[in-house]
Chain A
Amino acid sequence: AQSVTQLGSHVSVSEGALVLLRCNYSSSVPPYLFWYVQYPNQGLQLLLKYTTGATLVKGINGFEAEFKKSETSFHLTKPSAHMSDAAEYFCAVSAPQGGSEKLVFGKGTKLTVNP
């Protein structure tokens, strides 16, 4: 079975600073990995995904994530935070080759951006 751990339920950065949101996963088969963002009172929006191929994945709004198999990590980064990045971010994993297409989510990290 897959699982996801997001380190830090709250992260606070200054505007213009680096954003780093951590995600570690567990999967017995090659995983598919996702980052979603949720703005207040809205549903989740896909930021980026890793399925196969290039391990550095670029997403919307300047975010990117790198799949590191040896570290079982898929951390989300953005070089320079913007006020509009304030939201909750969810990492998710699925394991289609294991026969389960169920998406398993981490508990989320709330990002605050200070002026």
Chain B
Amino acid sequence: EAGVTQSPTHLIKTRGQQATLRCSPISGHTSVYWYQQALGLGLQFLLWYDEGEERNRGNFPPRFSGRQFPNYSSELNVNALELEDSALYLCASSPRAREAFFGQGTRLTVV
């Protein structure tokens, strides 16, 4: 069974641009979580989607947004990129059993 897949694995953008990160959950999982892992800051919760709806949001500005599609895949968009947005972005999916399975992450570098 395929795990959580994220694309791209690496992304380099310039300040002010937009970034789009994608996540495909494990088949049958309806929940998708997004986390940011910046150097020295640990795992910061970004967004939680379940059944196509945004269920919860972390303490991030509105330029961080996303959506979940009918097939439960998800997209994270970051607008007006800033240097401090450089981080590993991790997606996780859950079958509503509260246990999250993580993808390998997308490394976003803003220059």
Contact = CB atoms under 8 A, between A and B. Distances in A.
Interface of A: 32, 34, 36, 42-46, 49, 51, 90, 92, 94, 96, 100-108
Interface size classification for chain B: 20 to 34
B56 interface: yes
A102 B45 contact: yes
Contacts of A108: 42-43
B26 interface: no
Interface of B: 4, 31, 33, 35, 41-43, 45, 48, 50, 55-56, 90, 92, 94, 96, 98-105
Given A51-B98, A101-B50, A106-B42, 16 more contacts: A32-B99, A34-B99, A34-B100, A43-B4, A43-B102, A43-B103, A44-B92, A44-B100, A44-B102, A46-B100, A101-B94, A102-B33, A102-B56, A103-B98, A104-B45, A108-B43
Contacts of B55: 101-102
The B interface is mostly helix, strand or loop, or mixed, namely strand
Given A34-B99, A43-B90, A100-B56, A105 B43 contact: yes
A39 B101 CA distance: 15
Contacts of B96: 101
Contacts of A45: 102
